[in-house]
């Protein structure tokens, strides 16, 4: 058994193309082996443009909370005279 012919890469664009095509072939082969999953159908009572009630409540709560006052920063380093 002999090893496959080596691929000589001359620059990074060529390497990028090789890697892209290599993984595209692998993904295509896997997609043939594994059947696609069916997404469960979700019933939505609101339209996509309306935010859900939970999101509305979270936004209202965040607006109600007042930001805490920043504590005053105290410099505790003492300067020493060199005299």
Concatenating the DSSP letter of every residue in the chain gives --PPPPPPP-SHHHHHHHHHHHHHHHHHHHHHHSPPPPPPPPP-SS-TTSPPHHHHHHHHHHHHSPPPPPPPP---PPP----
| Predicted confidence band of residue 21 (pLDDT cuts 50, 70, 90) | very high
% of residues, the chain, pLDDT over 90: 24
Model confidence, pTM: 0.38
pLDDT at 10: 93
Q: Could you report the per-residue pLDDT of 41-57, keeping only the tens digit for each?
A: 776 665 555 556 777 66
Q: What pLDDT is recorded for position 47? A: 57
């Amino acid at each position: 058994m002999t090893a496959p012919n080596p691929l000589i890469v001359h620059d990074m664009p060529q390497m990028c193309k090789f890697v892209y095509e290599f993984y595209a072939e692998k993904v295509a082969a896997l997609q043939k082996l594994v059947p696609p999953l069916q997404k469960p159908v979700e019933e939505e009572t609101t339209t996509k443009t309306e935010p859900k009630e939970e999101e509305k409540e979270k936004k209202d709560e965040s607006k109600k909370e007042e930001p805490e006052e920043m504590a005053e920063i105290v410099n505790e380093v003492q300067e020493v005279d060199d005299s």
